A and B are shown apart, each in its own frame.
Chain A
Amino acid sequence: MDVIATAAAPLVEIEHLSHVYRQGGAGDHAVLDDVNLKLRDNEIVALLGRSGCGKSTLLRIIAGLMPATAGAVAIEGEPVTAPAPQVAMVFQSFALFPWLTVLENVEIGLEAQGIDLDERRQRAIAAIDLIGLDGYESAFPKELSGGMRQRVGLARALVVHPKVLLMDEPFSALDVLTAETLRTDILDLWCEGRMPIRSILMVTHNIEEAVLMCDRILVFSSNPGRILAEIKVDLPQPRNRLEPNFRALVDDIYARMTARPSGKKEGLFPGTGIALVLPRVSPNRLAGLIELVAAQPYNGRADLPAIAGDFLMEVDDLFPVAETLQLLRFAEVEHGDIRLTEAGKRFARSGLDERKRMFAQHLVTYVPLAGHIKRVLDERAGHRAPASRFRGELEDSMSEELADQTLRAVISWARYAEVFAYDEDSGVFSLENPT
């Protein structure tokens, strides 16, 4: 599939787009920063990035569902101010109306355009046939499996004859097998030119999915979302996941996505010092990954794509765990690999008590917020401090939601390590553990 149209105005053009979630005052949270992108005729482009990198926000801005803070979005040269008729969107959650039948759900876009009943029916049935849903017209969404529901979502988008199809993680709510079938079906329809669309822009966090389906991949960094790299995929369709070129490309993208910004020891978590935004990763998952990497066949060093493939984990499952290990200095993550440090290897060999002791030591030393809470508790006479105090400190530099997530992460790790206790009812940290 070659890029043909170069002279005409691109289907979608985004210039210097930035987006900020306002929370008033200091807590403004930059979601997208200086994003530029062109979507041309006849291509499938992926916006690839981890959760929270703003890629879904970008898709919604293109769809006209929310305005950007700064920058320009144009569809066929016209600036976007409201939902444009040239685009149609497929949602991660399917977003079907549970009280409408499959047919009525597909018709919803035509109905809003005021198209009369006969034409509506005819077009809806054609779209349902195209997408392989014949026979399900009178079913309600709750009677369908996930894959079938997403087909309804796709038919609903195609029936309005959009030029651009936007897909927001369309396969991530599906199980592995169903997702694969749907991907293949969509690729077949696309390659045979049977869908009435000119381009597809899809958001995903699944690296293999992006390489399998897309002509171009825009890799996003997180917090704020920026385009880290643009990768052209020249492999011919249909693509084979096991082919060396395919694997090399996947490995390359893993490496880019795990690359640390130079000089930042904390890894990829946004923020600095005590205001580092921490992910909620359970201590069991941390220990689990350490044991996995320490054991055969990895022996302390593993290829992240290989782990992801072997254990059917996605980037969003795996990366936060790996990066938390890096933050705690139990592992190093680089070039798409994870390598246990000496401490990490010792952790893997130890029993529960020793593990807890090591975890406590690393937690207080390397997670600034944990160290900070511990110091405050040590200094205070009663060894007690309200969580609201630390929440307030965090909210100076991050959103309420992220502050809550960060605090909960630290509480969960500290409980495992028995560094300090937290009482949910009173919202108070203390040094005493219940006896």
Chain B
Amino acid sequence: MNIRAAASHARSLPLGLGRRGLLPNLYDLIIFIFIAAAFVALAYGIREMEAPLAKLEVAPVTLDPAHLPEYALRTTLRMFAAILASLLFTFVVATLAAKSRKAELVIIPALDILQSVPVLGFLTFTVAFFMRVFPGSELGAECAAIFAIFTSQAWNMTFSFYQSLRTIPADLDEVSRHFRQSGWLRFWRLEVPFAAPGLIWNTMMSMSGGWFFVVASEAITVGDTTVKLPGIGSWLALAIERKDVAAVGLAVATMGIVILAYDQLVFRPIVAWADKFRFEQTAARDRPKSWVYDVVRRTRLMRVVFGTVSSATAYLALTRLRLPTRPRRPGATAGGRVGDALWIAAVLAAAAYALWFVLGYVRASLGLADALAAGWCGLLTLIRVMVLIAIASAVWVPIGVYIGLRPWAAQRAQPIAQFLAAFPANVLFPIAVAAIVSLRLDPNIWLSPLMVLGTQWYILFNVIAGASAFPTDLREASTVYRLRSAQWWRKVILPGIFPYYVTGALTASGGSWNASIVAEVANWGDIKLKAVGLGAYIAEATEAGDYPRVVLGIGVMSLFVVVINRLLWRPLYRFAERRFRLS
């Protein structure tokens, strides 16, 4: 894939970092309370319904290689179901946030915090919840797994779409209004195409991240019930139980094939196709390429298929549907201001109630000591994440720079780095755990690297993208003036790649927090390894069905992630944008 295009997309990535305000504000706090209250309500509700979970009539997962293709297919289908749900959510929620000020006030901070919530932590709740909704049916567990993947994907997609909607070029907006396009037509003709590059890139990134969660969410233990959905994740769980190294190897190989197929058959063709939506008035010199896309375009059958799809879209767009999607006008009227005030008052009142509710629930079974314990664990995990990101940076920044400055190497290395980022690292965990067990290493130290096993690649491929985009004339200037090596790193290349590096490190750090839940506690047959930390805290509470502690653990982890984002990553990002942005 074209590196520069990848770079420009990747740069538009994460977390609403462009937004003003560095410190967590009152509003974040309020949204935080809401989200915590939602979890508590879920946990509370599950406890209320005391009936035991109905036994599932699922065909048991076996370690028979003949079943592997089917399992791979099931895993992939779950993935696509989640991405469809995420897209639907994106279209509705982002549009709402962009068109309604009141909705925006709540939705955008909520997305920001939801991105920081460790998804794996509340798998327990959602499984229990969905299994009550669909009692005795496999559908409940399926929904829970899909929901878990959805929660790992939807937020950044929604954010990207929202940001695109808010940055629609003024002249195209005027053309749309000038020709009196209906809201529905405007959505398909202007808004979706304009948002497409960012949305597609974020969707693809979400899918890459999603493999991790699909593997983690297929085999779930809730209290004394263990659900194993047919899929690679369950195969892996079974292989771990039985200490079957060959089966783990097969899972790794299968996952590799699946990701490769996804990369070649889905990711690249879509990115190549989406190139036409890039908002540029000049034709790019090198465009993203995909052999699949080229084949598809040349085949007559596929042309017919695509033609049908595009005329179906056109038909959809031209359906005279009345949507109240007028873009809002700048400048609030007096009535609008009063409305806003009332709305904020309502939100505040609801937040106060939510706070009371959360405190009541947590206080009933937990004391200050528990909070301190969770905080201490959080600190340990924080140290792990920071140290590991630092080590990964020390390793991958020089390598990424070396590769990125050599176009031929970058062309080859970039897809590999993206492949590695998509590969679910938890499939590799058992191998590492088996090694730790047999070498009798200290799990407190040696389990830690697993947290960055899958996420370090984000640093690598962002640095490669940054180094590839580094202007040739600046490199030539530094050669002409014979800059010494240390000086070259300090004054030339590090500032040059800094914005890219921050994006990569930020993504890696967020992913590592999530991974800690599955990385700090690891099993190998009946042997159990544990590193003290917040991830282990949540994992153990989950296994014990101790809902208040799960809620506390998730809350503390979200708090850590939000605060680190605000105090470290967001200022760094803004600094990078201000000082080191080339052109």
Say yes or no: is B484 at the interface (Cβ < 8 Å to chain A). no
One of A109, A112, A113, A140 near B276 (C-beta < 8 A): A140
CB pair A143–B178 under 8 Å, yes or no, is no
For residue A375, CB closer than 8 A to chain B, the reply is no
Once the chains are docked, how many angstroms separate the CA of A263 from the CA of B279?
49
Q: Interface of A with B (CB < 8 Å)? A: 22, 60, 63-65, 82-83, 85, 88-89, 91-95, 97-100, 108-109, 111-114, 140-143, 149, 160
What are 12 A-B contacts defined by CB distance under 8 Å? Answer: A83-B179, A92-B171, A95-B169, A95-B174, A97-B189, A97-B193, A98-B276, A99-B276, A108-B175, A111-B318, A140-B276, A142-B280
B174 pairs with A98, CB closer than 8 A: no
Within 8 A of A (CB), among B174-226: 174-175, 177-182, 185, 189-190, 193, 196
Cα-based distance from A60 to B175 in the complex (angstroms): 11
B67 at the interface (CB under 8 A from A): no
Bound-complex Cα distance A373 to B42 (A):
61
Interface residues of B in 305-347 (CB under 8 A from A): 318, 320, 331
Q: Which residues of A contact B320 (CB under 8 A)?
A: 114
The reply to whether B178 and A89 form a contact with Cβ atoms under 8 Å apart is yes
A112 touches B182 (CB 8 A): yes
Q: Bin the interface of chain B by size.
A: 20 to 34
Indicate whether A83 sits within 8 Å of B178 (C-beta atoms), given known contacts A93-B171, A97-B190: yes
Interface pair A95/B185, CB less than 8 Å apart: no
**B177 contacts which chain A residues (CB < 8 A)?**
65, 83
B278 contacts chain A at the CB level, 8 A cutoff:
yes
Are B318 and A63 closer than 8 Å at their CB atoms? no
User: Which residue of chain B has its CB nearest to the CB of A24?
Assistant: B331
Is B277 touching A99 in the complex (CB atoms < 8 A)?
yes
How many Å lie between the Cα of A98 and that of B274 in the bound state?
12
With a cutoff of 8 Å between Cβ atoms, the chain A residues found around residue B364 in the complex are none
Contacts of B172 on A, CB cut-off 8 Å? Answer: 95, 97
Known pairs A91-B175, A95-B171, A95-B172; A112 contacts B181 (CB<8 A)? yes
B281 on the A face (CB < 8 A): yes
In Å, the complex CA distance between A89 and B181 comes to 15
Given A97-B193, A98-B278, A143-B283, A112-B185 contact (CB < 8 Å):
yes
On chain B, the residues within 8 Å of A97 by CB distance are 172, 175, 189-190, 193
B282 at the binding interface (Cβ < 8 Å): yes
Which residues of A are found within 8 Å of B318, using beta-carbon distances? 111, 114
- In whole angstroms, what is the CA distance A36 to B457 when docked? 64
The interface centre, meaning the residue of B172, B174, B179, B279 with most chain A CB atoms within 10 A of its CB, is B179
19 further A-B pairs in the complex, CB-CB below 8 A; given A22-B331, A93-B171, A149-B281: A60-B174, A82-B180, A83-B177, A91-B171, A91-B175, A92-B171, A95-B169, A95-B172, A95-B174, A98-B277, A98-B278, A98-B280, A99-B277, A111-B318, A112-B180, A112-B182, A113-B179, A114-B320, A143-B283
A83 to B180, CA, bound (A): 7
A75 to chain B, nearest CB (A): 14
Alpha-carbon distance A95/B194, docked complex (angstroms): 13
A98 touching B281, Cβ below 8 Å: yes
Instruction: List the B side residues contacting A22 at CB < 8 Å.
Output: 331
CA distance A112 to B181 in the complex (A): 5
Chain B residues with Cβ below 8 Å from A98 are 276-281
Closest to A114 in B: B320
Q: Which chain A residues border B169 with CB–CB below 8 Å?
A: 95
A51 CB, min distance to chain B CBs, angstroms = 16
B185 contact set on A, CB distance < 8 A: 111-112
Of all A-B residue pairs in the complex, the 3 with the closest CB atoms, nearest first, are A95-B171, A109-B179, A99-B193
Residues of chain A with a CB closer than 8 A to B179's CB: 83, 108-109, 112-113, 160
Residues of A near B193 (CB, < 8 A) are 97, 99
- Interface residues in B260-287 (C-beta closer than 8 Å to A): 276-283
Q: Which residues of B contact A143 (CB under 8 A)?
A: 283
Kindly report which residue of chain B lies nearest to residue A166, judged by CB atoms.
Answer: B178
Nearest residue, chain B, Cβ from A160: B179
CA distance A360 to B196 in the complex (A): 52
Contact A65 B278 (CB under 8 A): no
Contacts of A100 in B (CB 8 A): 189
Residues of chain A contacted by B331 (CB below 8 angstroms): 22
The answer on a CB contact under 8 Å between B171 and A108 is no
Could you tell me the distance in whole angstroms from the C-beta of B264 to the nearest C-beta in chain A?
Answer: 25
CA–CA, A288 and B26, complex, Å: 53
Cβ of B209 to closest chain A Cβ, rounded Å:
27
Cα–Cα distance between A60 and B329 once the two chains are bound (Å): 14
Contact A65 B178 (CB under 8 A): yes
CB distance from B395 to the nearest CB of A (A): 31
A111 CA to B314 CA, complexed, in Å: 10
* B174 engages A91 (CB within 8 Å): yes
**Shortest Cβ distance from residue A23 to the other chain B in the assembled complex, whole angstroms:** 9
Q: Is the CB of B189 within 8 A of A108?
A: yes
A99 contacts across to B, CB distance below 8 A:
193, 196, 276-277
Q: In the bound complex, how far is the Cα of B175 from the Cα of A108, in angstroms?
A: 9
| Cross-chain contact B178 with A142 (CB below 8 angstroms) | no
Residue of A nearest to B311 (CB): A117
| Contact partners of A141 in chain B: CB under 8 A | 281
For the complex, give the distance between the alpha carbons of A424 and B5 in Å.
31
> CA A83 – CA B181 in complex, angstroms?
10
Chain A residue numbers with a CB within 8 Å of B175 are 91, 95, 97, 108
B181: chain A residues at CB < 8 Å are: 108, 112
Residues of A within 8 A of B171 (CB): 91-95
With A and B bound together, what is the CA distance between A142 and B285 in angstroms? 12
B180 touches A142 (CB 8 A): no
Q: Which of A95, A114, A149 has the most CB of B within 10 A?
A: A95
Residue on A with the closest CB to B171? A95
Min C-beta distance of A324 to chain B, whole Å:
28
* C-alpha gap A100/B190 in the complex (Å): 10
> Closest CB-CB distance, A358 to chain B, in whole Å?
34
CA distance A29 to B318 in the complex (A): 41
Question: Who on chain A is nearest to B279 by CB?
Answer: A98
Report the separation of the CA atoms of residues A89 and B277 in the bound assembly, to the nearest whole angstrom: 24
A156 to chain B, nearest CB (A): 8
Q: Which residues of B contact A113 (CB under 8 A)?
A: 179-180
Distance in angstroms from A39 CB to nearest chain B CB is 18
Give the residues in chain A near B278, CB-CB below 8 Å.
Answer: 98
Report the separation of the CA atoms of residues A141 and B193 in the bound assembly, to the nearest whole angstrom.
Answer: 15
Give the one of B177, B180, B185 with max A CB within 10 A.
B180
A89 contact set on B, CB distance < 8 A: 174, 178
Taken together as a complex, chains A and B put the C-alpha atoms of A85 and B189 apart, in Å, by 20
The one of B182, B189, B190, B283 in contact with A142, judged by C-beta atoms closer than 8 angstroms, is: B283
**Contact A63–B281 (Cβ < 8 Å):** no
Q: How far is the CB of B355 from chain A (nearest CB, A)?
A: 33
Instruction: Determine the chain A residues whose CB is within 8 A of the CB of B282 once the complex forms.
Output: 142
Give the distance to chain B from A425, nearest Cβ to Cβ, in Å: 8
Cα A22 to Cα B283 with chains together (Å) = 39
The CA-CA distance from A108 to B185 in the complex, in Å, is: 10
Q: Do A142 and B281 have beta carbons less than 8 Å apart?
A: yes
Q: How many Å lie between the Cα of A195 and that of B196 in the bound state? A: 36
- Which B-chain residue is minimally distant from A116 (CB atoms)? B318
Residues of A near B182 (CB, < 8 A) are: 112
Give the distance to chain B from A61, nearest Cβ to Cβ, in Å: 12
How many angstroms from the CA of A93 to the CA of B182 in the assembled complex? 23
Contacting residues, chain B, for A112 (C-beta < 8 A): 179-182, 185
CB nearest to B318 among chain A residues: A111
**Which residues of chain B come closer than 8 Å to A111, judged between CB atoms?**
185, 189, 318
Residue of B nearest to A89 (CB): B178
Residue on B with the closest CB to A95? B171
| A102, chain B: closest CB distance, angstroms | 14
